[in-house]
Amino acid sequence: MTWPLAERIKKLSLNVLTYDYTDFAYYCCYVAVSKEKIVACVIWDPEQKEMLCHGLYVAPAYQSVGVGKSLLNYFYQAAKHGGSSAVLVKAERVSCDYFIKLGYQAVPVTSVNDYPYLYRKELKHVLSDKQPACSSL
Residue span of the structural domain in which 58 resides: 26-122
Which pLDDT value is given to residue 70?
92
Cα 130 from chain centroid (whole Å):
19
Least Cα distance to 107 among 97, 94, 95, 120 occurs for 120
Task: Provide φ and ψ at 123, rounded to 5°.
Answer: -105, 20
Q: Do β-strands 28-34 and 37-45 pair in parallel, antiparallel, or remain unpaired?
A: antiparallel
Is 117 among the domain residues? yes
> Exposed, middle or buried, 128 (CB in 10 Å: 0-12/13-18/19+)?
middle
Cα(117)–Cα(125) distance, integer angstroms:
23
Is 73 among the domain residues? yes
Cα(31)–Cα(33) distance, integer angstroms:
6
Which pLDDT value is given to residue 17?
39
CATH of the domain at 35: 3.40.630.30
Is 96 among the domain residues? yes
pTM reported for the whole predicted model: 0.74
Which pLDDT value is given to residue 2?
53
Which pLDDT value is given to residue 27?
83
Cα(13)–Cα(132) distance, integer angstroms:
21
Is 127 among the domain residues? no
Which pLDDT value is given to residue 67?
93
Which pLDDT value is given to residue 127?
62
Is 109 among the domain residues? yes
Which pLDDT value is given to residue 55?
83
The count of domains in the chain is 1
Cα(77)–Cα(71) distance, integer angstroms:
10
Task: Provide φ and ψ at 106, rounded to 5°.
Answer: -65, 135
pLDDT along the chain (137 residues), means of 10: 55 52 77 90 85 89 92 92 91 91 93 91 74 45
Q: Which residues are within 8 A (CB) of 9 and not within 5 positions of it... i.e. 6 or more apart?
A: 55, 57, 92
